[in-house]
Every structure is written in structure tokens, then in C-alpha cells.
Amino acid sequence: MKLKTAFKIIIVAYVIICVAMFGYQRKLMYLPYVGIEAPGNYGLVDFTSLAISTSDNIKIQAWYHEARTGYPTIIYFHGNAGNMSHRAQYFSLLRDAGFGVLGIDYRGYGASEGTPSEEGFYKDGRAAVDYAQKELALPANKIIIYGESIGTGVAVQMATEYKLAALILQSPFMSMTSAASYHYPWLPVPLLLRDHFDSASKIANVHTPLLLFHGESDGVVPISDGKTLLTLANEPKQAVYFPETGHNNFDLKSLVHSVLKFAELRKLVD
């Protein structure tokens, strides 16, 4: 009898945990930091702050620096935590290498309006690409889509919708289902998850040169996800794997060097 009672308690507790995870999953998935100042306060004195309107009338903030003549512009989709200010050093290095940079804060991040969600992120991504092409007059063959972590899900989706110059993925996962199952193997993740970012099912629809970065010691998204995604992707594609690098501690100068070599190889730099 005691065993039966204990079993019931365990079942009830498990159901409560599942319900809680379903209800609070977006608070675990999206970790925005809303405090942000002008780009010049982070050393980006030559960056312009922009307000971009999405299709559902949300205003998102962007930072922009024009490319050096003959160089492409990188539209940068950052990870699930922080905001653009936490990528300021990387933006400055990309600028110094000659690249244009258009970074955005998703809805709910930085000074952007709204609340984070997968579909919301896609609307933010479309707004950024449309703004780059229409308002900044950037040709498609001079735009590189760059995704970092959860931003790789946005970048892959954009690459299925727009024919642009190239796609760069840093620490990508196959899907949010895969990533969440890695951390919560004891939960029925496919039944609970609201936002899927299923890059593995979309990558075959991307027909643009791909560069992939992954740290071999990544404890957040295992490198096996990145390697599987690379296998599923179309040619031309290449990967650079970084020994002893985790999810967030890449050597930024090495990344920029690899991006520049990739751009030169794909003849994206005149």
C-alpha cells in the first residue's frame, strides 16, 4: 500500500513539473536584458541606432554600420540571452575587417517592443532583411545572414525565404526539441514545446553557401548537433570547429578571420 501511495505521489509530482515547464518554458528559453544605451556607449561610435517596424507593428531596435566598399553586410541574429550590447566587441571587429553590420534586438530584448516567441523572432528577422534591402538599398548578393545559438534558428528560416549571399551559423542546434531533450531527457519535450526552431527539417531548403562554427566543448548545444546539421545542408558548405571552446567563449578574432576567408573564397568581397 505504501508503495502504491508513493507511486501516485511521484506521478502527481511529475505531472505538476510538466505543467510548470509548459507554462514557464518561454521564461527559461528567452533571457532578454532590457537595459541598453546608445551604441557609442559601447565603443561603436560610428554605428547608427535604428527603429525597424515589423509586420505586426512592433518596433525593434537595430544598430547599423555601412560596409567598406566592395564588402558584404552581415545581418546578425544573436542568442537567447542579453542584447546587442553584449555583442559590441564582435560588431567592432567585423566592422574593422570591412564588413557592414546590421544587428537587431528581437522583440522583448534591449529597447525593442513586444514579447519573445518563435514566430515573433521570424517576423523580426523578416523586418531586418526587408529593411536592409529596401531602406538601406543593399543588394541580395551583398547580404550575409549570421545566426548565433537560438539566432541560428532565425537565420535558417530567413535563408529559406530569401536568396542572399551566404549563411553563417554559430553553435547551431538541430531543433529546440533536440536542444531541450539534451538538457531534460526525463521530460516529454516534444509534447510540451511551443517554439521549435526546427532547422534540421529546413536546412535542405537552403541553397546558399554555408559556414558553420561550433565549439568542441559546447555544453549547451552538443557539437553533434552542428555536425548533423552540416551533413543535412547542401553544398557549398564548410565548418570550423574550435577545440576547448564552449558555447560562449569563442576567440572573436579567430571567428572574424574565418568569416573573412569564407567571404573571400565565395567571392563576396570585391
Higher pLDDT, 14 or 88: 88
Which CATH number do you get for residue 225? Answer: 3.40.50.1820
Kindly state whether residue 270 falls inside one of the protein's structural domains. no
Kindly state whether residue 74 falls inside one of the protein's structural domains. yes
Kindly state whether residue 191 falls inside one of the protein's structural domains. yes
Over residues 213-239, mean pLDDT: 96
Sheet with 100-104: strands ordered across: 48-53, 59-65, 100-104, 73-77, 143-148, 166-170, 210-215, 237-242
Over residues 109-124, mean pLDDT: 97
User: In this predicted model, what pLDDT tens digit does every residue of 21-55 receive, in sequence order?
Assistant: 777 777 878 989 998 999 999 999 999 999 999 99
Q: Does the active-site annotation cover 178?
A: no
Q: Please report which confidence band the pLDDT of residue 99 belongs to, taking 50, 70 and 90 as the band edges.
A: very high
Q: Does the active-site annotation cover 86?
A: no
Give the whole-angstrom CA distance, residue 209 versus residue 263. Answer: 10
Kindly state whether residue 213 falls inside one of the protein's structural domains. yes
Give the whole-angstrom CA distance, residue 210 versus residue 192. Answer: 31
Give the whole-angstrom CA distance, residue 10 versus residue 110. Answer: 41
Kindly state whether residue 154 falls inside one of the protein's structural domains. yes
Over residues 61-88, mean pLDDT: 97
Q: Please report which confidence band the pLDDT of residue 164 belongs to, taking 50, 70 and 90 as the band edges.
A: very high
Give the whole-angstrom CA distance, residue 71 versus residue 64. Answer: 14
> Among 105, 124, 195, 218, which one carries the catalytic annotation?
218
Q: Is residue 134 within 8 Å of residue 159, measured between CB atoms?
A: no
Higher pLDDT, 134 or 9: 134
> Among 149, 171, 175, 199, which one carries the catalytic annotation?
149
Q: Is 108 helix (H, G, I), strand (E, B) or coil?
A: coil
Q: Please report which confidence band the pLDDT of residue 4 belongs to, taking 50, 70 and 90 as the band edges.
A: low
Q: Is residue 67 within 8 Å of residue 94, measured between CB atoms?
A: no
Domains: count for the chain: 1
Q: Which structural domain, as residue segments, surrounds residue 123?
A: 2-265
Give the whole-angstrom CA distance, residue 206 versus residue 159. Answer: 6
Q: CB neighbours (10 Å) of residue 248?
A: 15
Q: Does the active-site annotation cover 218?
A: yes
Kindly state whether residue 92 falls inside one of the protein's structural domains. yes
What average pLDDT is seen over the chain? 93
Cell, residue 46: 560610428
Q: Does position 267 have pLDDT exceeding 80, yes or no?
A: yes
Q: CB neighbours (10 Å) of residue 19?
A: 11
Cell, residue 120: 515573433
Q: Please report which confidence band the pLDDT of residue 254 belongs to, taking 50, 70 and 90 as the band edges.
A: very high
Q: Please report which confidence band the pLDDT of residue 194 belongs to, taking 50, 70 and 90 as the band edges.
A: confident
Over residues 237-253, mean pLDDT: 96
Cell, residue 239: 565548418
